[in-house]
Amino acid sequence: MPAAVTEILIYGAVTGSIYAMLAVGFTLVFGVARTLNLAHGSFYALGAYATYFLTARFNMPLIVAALLAVLFVAGFGVSLERILIRPLRHSGLAVLMITLATSLVVEQLLFLGFGSEYRNVSGFVAGKVAIAGVDVSAQRLLALAVSCALLSMLWVFIHGTRLGSAILALSGDNEAAQYMGIPGDRVFALVMGMSAALAAIAGVLAAPFLTVQPGMGLLPMVKAFSIVIVGGLGSIRGSILAALMLGYAETIVAYAFSASWTELVSLAAVFLTLIFRPAGMFGKPTF
């Protein structure tokens, strides 16, 4: 197999897996509460920066810092839902505005606290691994393995547990599920925590080989939004498939043309989806 093909297969899978963790959390929130959380990219940035802060300032072991960072971001997500989103959930526009404002506040706080300089976050593993004649960063392979494991566990949790059934019931018919005794507010708070944790883990895993700076949450937010549109709002399998498609498409464009062209891929995918299938690949048409 040519080296270029091997690189595309590996790097496309890594990119797609990171996108999948971001998009699945985003679509979970929409599926349960029918709200778009524009602060989702902030969870990604906070995961990376919290890990950096704990390792650089307190010399914590990386794994301990990462776990604490994910717990902190999950708690932040739950607090955001209870304090800001829940009182405004009746108005989709109000939720959009308050989550957008939260995203901007987080970005400015990171700028004030850490400055505009790029930060280096240590990887969990060092070195490279040779695969079919191609040297691949061990950290990238770890990110791929962890992403696949987490998404698999999430799928089992959603489809194989009682709490997962409650999440599916709320995403199917929120009002009917609450009439059946399912505590909607508690489940949504849990989903927000899970969504924030997934985004934070994506940030922790990707930080060693991607840029860490205050505005790093914007691009992942755009990617997650694009993916759920292509995959279908509220569809987990659609988000995973669309994330892989986008990851491979961007990798192919980067190899064939230039990395500067990759940002157009998600825009083109959204444009084509809205023209030919507005509900997305696995979304349900509303007409």
Mean pLDDT, range 60-80, rounded to an integer: 96
Whether the predicted pLDDT of 202 surpasses 50: yes
Whole-number pLDDT of residue 284: 60
Whole-number pLDDT of residue 286: 42
Distance CA 233, CA 48 (A): 27
Whole-number pLDDT of residue 285: 52
Output the six-digit token pair for 170.
Answer: 């709320």
Buried b (16+ CB within 10 A) or exposed e, 133-169: ebebbebbbbbbebbeebbeebeeebeeeeeeebbeb
Mean pLDDT, range 76-99, rounded to an integer: 92
Residue 1 — pLDDT band, cuts 50, 70, 90? low
Distance CA 111, CA 42 (A): 13
pLDDT per residue over 14-56, tens digit each? 999 999 999 999 998 988 878 889 999 999 999 999 999 999 9
Q: Are 102 and 189 in contact (CB under 8 A)?
A: no
- Angle formed by the axes of helices 218-231 and 92-114, nearest 10°: 150
Q: Where are the alpha helices (DSSP H) in 161-235?
A: 162-172, 174-179, 184-206, 218-231
pLDDT per residue over 230-282, tens digit each? 998 778 889 999 999 999 999 999 988 888 888 889 888 998 898 888 888 88
Output the six-digit token pair for 210.
Answer: 């991607």
pLDDT per residue over 175-184, tens digit each? 777 778 888 8
Mean pLDDT, range 194-207, rounded to an integer: 95
pLDDT per residue over 125-169, tens digit each? 988 888 877 888 999 999 999 999 999 999 999 989 998 888 888
Whole-number pLDDT of residue 14: 94
Distance CA 207, CA 227 (A): 21
What is the pTM for the complete model shown?
0.93
